[in-house]
Amino acid sequence: MAVVRPERNAELRKALRPYRAKADLFAAGLFAADVAMYVLFTALAVGHPSLVVRFAAGLPAGVLLAVLFVVGHDACHGSFTSRRWLNQLIGRLAFLPTLTPYSTWELSHNLTHHVYTNLRPLDYLWAPLTKREYDALPAWRKKLERVYRHPLGLALYYPVEIWWKRLLFPARRFVQPSRAIYVADSALCSGVFLVALGFTARHGIWAVLTGMLWPFAIWSWLMSWALLAQHTHPGVPWFDDEREWREAQSRTVMTVHVVAPGPLNFMLHRIMEHTAHHLDVTVPLYHLAAAQAELESRSGELVVERWTPRSFLEHLRSCKLYDYDRRRWLDFDGRPTRR
């Protein structure tokens, strides 16, 4: 997906070539360290005598679910290591704790979202409704849309709209060409879930809550937040006409570089350096920060947003519905939120 003028894309991608280099030993060590930390905190969340410690340990365990997912995401793009088989192995293993079928993520993310970023109905990630579409929804669905735009309620977005609908149970037509692989990946995730549930349940219902459900809730919030922050911004337009979308790529930016707080950005393996990632998915996560800096030194067209709680709440307030004709965000009553 182009994020700057087409005539500049080739030049900028060329500038990113040095950052495509893979470091297989470093990547393997990084993955092993992430796994070790996840196992450690999950063990504490499941088996520590103190319930307070269990909940406390479940928090970093949930963050580490997101960390492992970022590794799997990179591997699924084929950019984490230089070897395809190793990327596929690490990707599947890294996705297992979040019960993400590798093949359906590859289809929905790599081959759909990255190809048609911000073009409805092909790009589905936080694609905003029009006022007419919102008004036509049943009351319960309107309520759900409002919950998704709540600072805490947005945690429901990823598990409901992406994980359940598109990864676990995608429409048959989407997975038909590789249905056998999809079935195998789904069976693998199901088997891991049953084993984990059986092992955790042996320690009691509280262990299931603190070792599985609580970390999964943390992970769901982080995933929903990251996807929202990377593609929903008052300065980033959406399109429902492919011709207009292709023409507008010459003067618009489709992704956001979210300057997250340093510790969070470090923990999430720099995935918020999202402009560089969309411009060249072959840049591995451990070179993303340098690649993003290179882009920003060469182009002033990129959307860069320093994340703060205030900016987060403001974007939730102002980016609810969308007027595709006038390219502006609306609130749920159909009023423009920015002049």
Average model confidence (pLDDT) across the chain: 90
CA separation for the pair 291, 111 (Å, rounded): 23
User: Alpha-carbon Rg of the chain, whole angstroms?
Assistant: 20
pTM: 0.91
In a domain, 1, yes or no: no
Q: Does residue 336 sit within a domain?
A: no
pLDDT reading at 46 higher than 90 = yes
Residues 6 or more apart whose Cβ sits within 8 Å of residue 99: 163, 168, 189, 192, 193
Q: Of the candidates 67, 70, 72, which has an alpha carbon nearest to the alpha carbon of residue 41? A: 67
Kind plus residue range of the DSSP H or E element containing 306: strand 303-306
Instruction: Report yes or no on 258 lying in a domain.
Output: yes
pLDDT of residue 207: 95
| In the chain, % of residues over pLDDT 90 | 65
Q: Do residues 79 and 286 touch, judged by C-beta distance below 8 A?
A: no
Confidence at residue 252, expressed as pLDDT on a 0 to 100 scale: 44
Summarised one tens digit per residue, pLDDT across range 153-185 is 999 999 999 998 888 877 665 554 466 788 888
Residue 252: domain span: 6-330
pLDDT tens digit string along 311-321?
999 999 999 99
In the structure, what pLDDT confidence band is assigned to residue 249 with cuts at 50, 70 and 90? low
Residue 307 lies in a domain: yes
Q: CA 323 to CA 307: how far, in whole Å?
A: 25
Q: Is residue 339 in a domain? A: no
Residue 337 falls within a domain, yes or no?
A: no
Q: How far is CA 297 from CA 97, 130, 276, 291, in A?
A: 38, 36, 12, 10
Residue 102 located in a structural domain: yes
Q: What is the pLDDT of residue 171?
A: 64
Region 287-298: mean pLDDT is 91
Is 33 domain-assigned?
yes
pLDDT of residue 2: 36
Beta pairing class for 328-330 and 321-323: antiparallel
Residue pLDDT, tens place only, 15-32? 899 999 999 999 999 999
User: Are the C-beta atoms of residues 285 and 21 closer than 8 Å to each other?
Assistant: no
Query: How would you label 16-35 residue by residue, b for 16+ Cβ within 10 Å and e otherwise?
Result: beebbebeeeebeebbeebb
- The tokens for 286 are 């451990």
How many domains would you assign to the chain?
Answer: 1
Say if CB 215 and CB 45 are below 8 A apart.
Answer: yes
pLDDT of residue 7: 55
